Amino acid sequence: MKAEDQGNECEICKQWYHSSCVDITDIEYEVLTIYKIGSIHWYCATCNVNSVQLLRLVFGLQDRLQKMESDMGNIKN
C-alpha cells in the first residue's frame, strides 16, 4: 500500500485494507481518521462476524453465571 492510498487497519487482526476494496467512502474514511483510536472501531468483515459470535458466547456465559448465582442463593436459603 502506498502512502497516498486510503487504508484501514482492522483493530482485531491488524491487517490493512484499501478503503475502496472494503466499500468505505471518502467521507467514512475521513471520519475514521479524525476520531481518536477507541472512539470509532473498524473491523474487517471476517473479524466483524467473529466478534459478534464471541459476544454472543460472552453474553450466554453471563446469563448462565447469573442463573447459577441465583440458584446457589436459593439453595443457601
Grid cell listed for 10: 482492522
Whether 54 is covered by a domain: the verdict is yes
pTM over 0.75: no
Helix ranges (H only) for 1-77 are 26-34, 45-76
Whether 44 is covered by a domain: the verdict is yes
**How many domains, in total, are found in the chain?**
1
User: 17: helix, coil or strand?
Assistant: strand
- Domain of residue 59 covers 7-76
Question: β-strand 16-18 against 7-9: which pairing, if any?
Answer: antiparallel
- What averages of pLDDT result for each successive group of 10 residues across the chain (77 residues)? 74 93 92 80 91 92 93 86
- Interior CA angle at 18 toward 10 and 43, to 5°? 20
| CATH number, domain containing residue 66 | 3.30.40
What's the confidence (pLDDT) of residue 4? 62
CA dist list (Å): 50 to 9, 13, 43, 46, 76: 16, 11, 10, 6, 39
Whether 33 is covered by a domain: the verdict is yes
